[in-house]
Amino acid sequence: MKITHNAAAERFEYAHEGAVAICEYRRIGGVWDLCHTYVPDSMRGQGVAGDLARATLNHVREAGGRVRPSCSYIRAFMERNPEYAPLLEDGAPRS
């Protein structure tokens, strides 16, 4: 699975057979507000959202950024994967 960073559109994308799954963000200084994740019906149940979340969070980590998980999926993913907790902008999980 090849996930690409479309910086101009402020999102990470996975395209397959004409459909595109996305993880959108808004960057405010060093904080990446991960605000929306969308996976088309044709891709659901295949782990695409998790792969998008992982790729996005790894990119933020490599860039030295912090995360504001406004998207409920990203927030839940981070709760299930505590290795990403240090990326939270305030260092604590959100509920």
Q: Which domains occur in the chain, in start order? A: 4-87 (3.40.630.30)
Q: Scanning the structure block, which residue is given the tokens 């090849």?
A: 2
CA proximity to 73, closest of 94, 59, 92, 87: 94
Task: Give the model confidence (pLDDT) of 8-54 as tens digits.
Answer: 999 999 999 999 999 999 999 999 999 999 999 999 999 999 999 99
Q: What is the mean pLDDT of residues 51-73?
A: 98
CB-based burial, 13-45: b 16+ in 10 Å, e otherwise: bbeeeeeebbbbbeeeeeebbbbbbebeeebee
- pLDDT at residue number 1: 78
95 band by pLDDT with thresholds 50, 70 and 90: very low
